[in-house]
Amino acid sequence: MSLKLVSCAPQEMNQITELTPSQITATLQTCVEQVLKLVYAALTTTTTVSKHLAFTTLQHWTEHSRVSLSHLHAQSFLPLLITALSIPQQQQQEATLVAASRALTEAILIPTDNCTPSREAAVQLLMQAISQGHFIRTPLQSNSSQEVAHALGTLLATLVCEEVDVIVQHENPHLLDLLLTIQAHPS
């Protein structure tokens, strides 16, 4: 029940017309550590419903409270996101894949940690996951819906655009192959 309430908080805060967007973000940021702990606890359980709700909550909070890629990495979320985005779609809900993809995409878009060692370590972890062949590729190739394919494609395109300097320095033929796979996807 508490995760459902926490999940709705960012959208509800955005409905308050008396606060500016920066005031809303600042207010949400005061709660982000506790929310991340709650989400992490839900993600480490084994129920599909709690994982779906946890990824949805993470998506809402990364969108509205500016949770960076470094922050997710420091809080041990990246292995959980990589695992979720490496499983065939048949083994999890479509909405879970979309929420996990969008949460990670939003975190990549936060520029406050650009060029920091922690962000570079997080990007290297993502690039390593791509090299291993299952991250993004497996759910994409498991008859994914148009919405899942779009979310995964957006995630990969965002990673490439935001981290082009790192990607150019470290050749990764798996990344190019994955980009071509997404381009050739029927949806």
What value does the mean pLDDT take over residues 143-158?
87
Helix (H) or strand (E) segment spanning residue 56: helix 48-65
pLDDT tens, 90-124? 767 888 999 999 999 999 999 889 889 999 999 99
pLDDT tens, 42-54?
898 767 668 889 9
For the entire predicted model, the pTM comes to 0.88
pLDDT at 138: 87
Q: Which pLDDT belongs to residue 76? A: 92
The three-point CA angle 61-129-122 to 5° equals 50
**What is the predicted pLDDT for the residue at 51?**
85
Distance separating alpha carbons of residues 41 and 20, to the nearest angstrom: 31
- Going by pLDDT thresholds of 50, 70 and 90, the confidence category of residue 66 is confident
pLDDT above 80 (res 130): yes
- pLDDT, position 118: 94
How many other CB atoms are there within 10 angstroms of residue 129's CB atom? 21
Mean pLDDT of 57-64: 92
CA distance 178 to 138: 10
Neighbours of 92 (CB within 10 A): 18
Residue 5 parent element (H or E):
helix 2-14
Q: What is the mean pLDDT of residues 129-158?
A: 86
- 81 versus 11: the higher-pLDDT residue is 81
Predicted confidence (pLDDT) per residue in 2-39, tens digit:
888 888 888 888 888 888 888 988 888 898 999 999 99
